[in-house]
Structure 1
Amino acid sequence: MTATTTPVKHEVKDISLAPLGKQRIDWAGREMPVLHLIRDRFAKEKPFAGIRITACCHVTTETAHLAITLKAGGADAVLIASNPLSTQDDVAASLVADHGIPVFAIKGEDNETYHRHVEIALDHKPNIIIDDGSDVTAGLVQHRKDQLSDIIGTTEETTTGIVRLAAMFKDGVLSFPAMNVNDAETKHFFDNRYGTGQSTLDGIIRATNVLLAGKTVVVAGYGWCGKGTALRARGLGANVIVTEINPVRALEATMDGFRVMPMEEAVRYGDLYVTVTGNKHVIRREHFENMKDGAIVCNSGHFDIEIDLKGLGEMASEKRTVRPFTEQYKLQSGKSVIVLGEGRLINLAAAEGHPSAVMDMSFANQALACEYLVKNKGKLEPAVHSIPEDIDQEIASLKLKAMGIHMDALTPEQVKYINSWTSGT
């Protein structure tokens, strides 16, 4: 696609980075065949003609393909970053220069800039919000009530965001439908488990260059992200301990062969800690005090609240950067604790996020969820809605087709049998 001739309003680090961004976007596209098929259809059908879409996502090579797909479908789209450390500046530049998509995202932007970008996203007066953590949706509900009549719906792809949407619904302030992309099978089974598992360890290794074999890795949380992280850590030779608050998940981790114990006990053994819970202060003062000297702590949950960095800072007599995205806190006891990526998503702070092949399915869900909202405008109740099963299965079928994998089909006799109650022993 050729560069646009009309300047596009934007706020990126350096527009001259666009050629490198375009090269990396093209590379990612090699493993995103499902989204390409959807884009081809959208380009013909224009399901988003006249629709304003605001997307708050990690601005990566994979997200670029979602934004390009939305524009191909006729959307008037604006993109902002969902996390201050997740933006790939060259990708942001290419989306502006090569695709004419307004982007407001700079890697390392401060909180003030981030919140200003959220305001810019809402100034777009969106009909659909694609959210990652529900910050834009929460801002709309709290501060832009005059724009609620413009909203067709929102889509959300994180556990944290879904929890916030459920709370909004419980409090009676969610006045429009929200699509739960996070819980689609083709999203959380693959994105959370395989994507988070690989990219989290990728970020840790890039930030530290430590050998994981023989280390004791403590994974806080055994949801799909925790499962993936624990599985990949074990695959690299680490001894893995899981901490959990849910008895079913704790039992599952035990049956999967991991040691399970409270964090207060795990801190006696851990060399490396990864939080993936979506909750607040999972690792806090009393844990830091009892960790080994030189213990490494990082987060792969959505927000930077899982590690109590304020408490750690108050305990420290010295704080210094020892490597990019790697900070050493020297405690008054003489021990040190190493924090990666400022407690933000380590897979995006120090690495590139999930592999393209995984995000292909996640963003296919986002694109089709937006189309579903448009097709069902005025028909869906204000609530958090699951992705329809036929959309989930369509994405899985397209992925299998792209991978050259074939599967069985039921025979007429089998169809009759599973739909009958008269056949028994």
Structure 2
Amino acid sequence: MSSDSSDLHFAAKSNPTTVTDSPVTDPGSTVKEEDIYEIIIEDTKKPTVVCQNIDPAQNAAFVGQRKLKPAVVIRREAVSAEGRVGIDTKTSSALKKSNRYRSRSLSASSNDSYSSASYTGSSSDDDDVSPREKVQKSGNGFTDFCVRNISQHAFGRREIEIAEQEMPGIMALRKRAGDDKPLKAAKIVGCTHINAQTAVLIETLTELGAQVRWSACNIYSTQNEVAAALAEAGYPMFAWRGETEEDFWWCIDKCVNAENWQPNMILDDGGDATHLMLKKYPAMFKMIKGIVEESVTGVHRLYQLSKAQKLTVPAMNVNDSVTKTKFDNLYSCRESIIDSLKRSTDVMFGGKQVVLCGYGEVGKGCCQALKGLGCVVYVTEIDPICGLQACMDGFRVVKLNEVIRNVDIVVTATGNKNVVTREHMDKMKNGCVVCNMGHSNTEIDVNSLRTPDLTWEKVRSQVDHVIWPDGKRIILLAEGRLVNLSCSSLPSFVVSITAATQALALIELFNAPHGRYKSDVYLLPKKMDEYVASLHLPTFDAHLTELTDDQAKYMGLNKAGPFKPNYYRY
């Protein structure tokens, strides 16, 4: 992006007009959050745009509902190669109905600004043209995809290249196994979060010989520019940020059922691809050689299928592998919870009261981070062992009703449903932040908030104020979906560990001789867990001690591992 692009340009009726006040130097530059611009577009042949600062006092966070005139929402388009921001004239039809547009300026820390690892500002969730209605093709004429805007591919490719630098394990696996092609003839249906780190995994799987078709497991977590980059490279991608529920299932269906396509492997996050194929395409499901599942929710669904004797293929539970549980769930969430809350709310953590629902590995990571920044942290738990761990770690274990009136932030991380109910939210104080670190959008009863007595006000991407009749408002992040993938990004290094684990699980199931795995749910072999860890140690210039023959004999171990029994807890 050129550094001299200092004007914010708008396009209307194909005639560009310039903003005459407070030019933005760059989409990622610092913009005062309290500035709100009123943009008046006159209906003439050569429209002019006048920007006028509104009194910042009107933007006070909790002074009742803002009394703003009806706004016309117009999509921000991608930054062009010259570094300019524009509005597509095709999507500005709303101007024909109204000549006013009010847009809240982006905070420097906003999750929809260029400061985010994902350039989500390159396309707005307010785009009224569904990607399903667009006809797009890549530079090579490839059309088997459906993404928000294929023209964003250059930004996405840059994100992928940056992620590769921080993902040494999966890149090492790509290099070591690339010549052997252990996934040759594998046809993988992928349904995971689609971001730069996932793109590295997808490209690794194809380097190992696989063919893939991919959709998103979350309607808000897709990085549009990354999906565009993968589509440009010839990958069948069906995902965009801000899908509807109908779009979500349509995208998965497009990955499962395609011409000349019979999948034989599933890589799932949440079990949705598995569920759709089993219910809608049972004959196709019988041809699957294995399923790899990486989330608590998806693993739970697999065990339910197994118990009901409806699971007819072997499945690998990656979520409970050591390399996933101890690194992705703990260390990744420990960092991403802070990033998510900062980007979306600009909250000051010192002295805040926080309740964390669930003290599994995700909950532990969140609690450590919040406590380290000076928060007073409470924990709710159903498991006495996890509850005792929380107590020994210095957290007070309570029932949610005991603290719900006083806490400033509520975070869920249980994998369950209706953990935070309408009754709880009715009791919350003004300005309470509510978010979810679990997998699905069931932990917070968001549907109970969609009633006529409550008003929803979108203040920035993935941030809604839900306003009660008395003026009280709570701040709901990502509509109750996974906040650290909707409002921020994940540390690429930790994702590299999980991605390498997923790749090895796919290789193991695909190449296992007939009879090794039955129609059940399995954990990743300990030897593979250790191999994934060894791929990442060189990054830290770490050197492991080797056992002598005598020591190995004394411990009853193979010098090359595995070094711990399967029941070892770490």
Pairwise TM-score range, normalised by the shorter structure: over 0.9
Pairing 1:357–2:493 present: yes
**What is the rounded CA distance, in whole Å, between the counterparts of 1:73 and 1:415 in structure 2?**
34
The residue number in structure 1 matching 2:468 is 331
Displacement after TM superposition at 1:411 (Å): 2.3
Report the secondary structure of 1:297's partner residue: strand
- The one-letter code matched in structure 1 to 2:320 is D
1:88-117 alpha-carbon deviations (Å, 9 max, x no partner): 0110111121x3211111100111111001
Cα 1:118–1:127 shift into 2, 3 Å: same
What is the identity percentage for the equivalent residue pairs of Structure 1 and Structure 2? 39
**What is the rounded CA distance, in whole Å, between the counterparts of 1:333 and 1:246 in structure 2?**
37
The residue number in structure 2 matching 1:110 is 244
The residue number in structure 1 matching 2:429 is 292
The residue number in structure 2 matching 1:53 is 188
**What is the rounded CA distance, in whole Å, between the counterparts of 2:141 and 2:477 in structure 1?**
41
Report the secondary structure of 2:351's partner residue: coil
Report the secondary structure of 2:159's partner residue: helix
The residue number in structure 2 matching 1:263 is 400
Pairing 1:149–2:286 present: yes
Pairing 1:415–2:552 present: yes
**What is the rounded CA distance, in whole Å, between the counterparts of 2:157 and 2:436 in structure 1?**
30
1:31-81 alpha-carbon deviations (Å, 9 max, x no partner): 111101111133201112222111111000000011001111111111111
Q: How does 1:48-127 map to 2 (within 5 A)?
A: 48-97=183-232, 99-123=233-257, 124-127=261-264
Report the secondary structure of 2:455's partner residue: strand
Contact 2:238-2:252 within 8 A present in 1 as well: no
Range with greater deviation from structure 2 (271-280 or 41-50): 41-50
Contact 1:43-1:73 within 8 A present in 2 as well: yes
Report the secondary structure of 2:450's partner residue: helix
Contact 1:187-1:361 within 8 A present in 2 as well: yes
**What is the rounded CA distance, in whole Å, between the counterparts of 1:138 and 1:201 in structure 2?**
33
- The one-letter code matched in structure 1 to 2:423 is E
The residue number in structure 2 matching 1:372 is 508
**What is the rounded CA distance, in whole Å, between the counterparts of 1:121 and 1:257 in structure 2?**
47
**What is the rounded CA distance, in whole Å, between the counterparts of 2:540 and 2:502 in structure 1?**
21
Pairing 1:273–2:410 present: yes
* TM-score scaled by length of structure 2: 0.71
- The one-letter code matched in structure 1 to 2:436 is N
Higher relative contact order (CA 8 A, sep 6+): 1
Contact 1:313-1:329 within 8 A present in 2 as well: no
The residue number in structure 1 matching 2:534 is 397
Displacement after TM superposition at 1:366 (Å): 0.6
Range with greater deviation from structure 2 (10-19 or 329-338): 329-338
**What is the rounded CA distance, in whole Å, between the counterparts of 1:55 and 1:41 in structure 2?**
23
Give the helix-richer structure, 1 or 2: 1
Matched length: 416
**What is the rounded CA distance, in whole Å, between the counterparts of 2:143 and 2:171 in structure 1?**
25
* TM-score scaled by length of structure 1: 0.95
- The one-letter code matched in structure 1 to 2:504 is L
Displacement after TM superposition at 1:417 (Å): 2.1
- The one-letter code matched in structure 1 to 2:361 is W
- Provide structure 1 residue ranges, at least 5 long, that are not aligned to the other structure: 421-425
- The one-letter code matched in structure 2 to 1:363 is A
Range with greater deviation from structure 2 (180-189 or 34-43): 34-43
- The one-letter code matched in structure 2 to 1:396 is A
1:225-276 alpha-carbon deviations (Å, 9 max, x no partner): 0001111111122111111111110110010001110011120331001111
2:268 corresponds to which of 111, 115, 131:
131
1:305 corresponds to which of 442, 451, 470:
442
**What is the rounded CA distance, in whole Å, between the counterparts of 2:453 and 2:292 in structure 1?**
41
**What is the rounded CA distance, in whole Å, between the counterparts of 1:243 and 1:315 in structure 2?**
31
**What is the rounded CA distance, in whole Å, between the counterparts of 1:392 and 1:126 in structure 2?**
26
**What is the rounded CA distance, in whole Å, between the counterparts of 1:317 and 1:372 in structure 2?**
51
- The one-letter code matched in structure 1 to 2:227 is A
**What is the rounded CA distance, in whole Å, between the counterparts of 2:470 and 2:548 in structure 1?**
70
Report the secondary structure of 1:319's partner residue: strand
1:356-379 alpha-carbon deviations (Å, 9 max, x no partner): 000001000111111001111532
Report the secondary structure of 2:279's partner residue: helix
Q: How does 1:29-44 map to 2 (within 5 A)?
A: 29-44=164-179
- Provide structure 2 residue ranges, at least 5 long, that are not aligned to the other structure: 1-137, 558-570
Q: How does 1:156-195 map to 2 (within 5 A)?
A: 156-195=293-332
1:289-331 alpha-carbon deviations (Å, 9 max, x no partner): 2211211101111111111112223384322112332111122
Provide the alpha-carbon RMSD of the alignment.
Answer: 1.5
Cα 1:48–1:8 shift into 2, 3 Å: farther
1:343 corresponds to which of 445, 466, 480:
480
Cα 1:6–1:373 shift into 2, 3 Å: farther
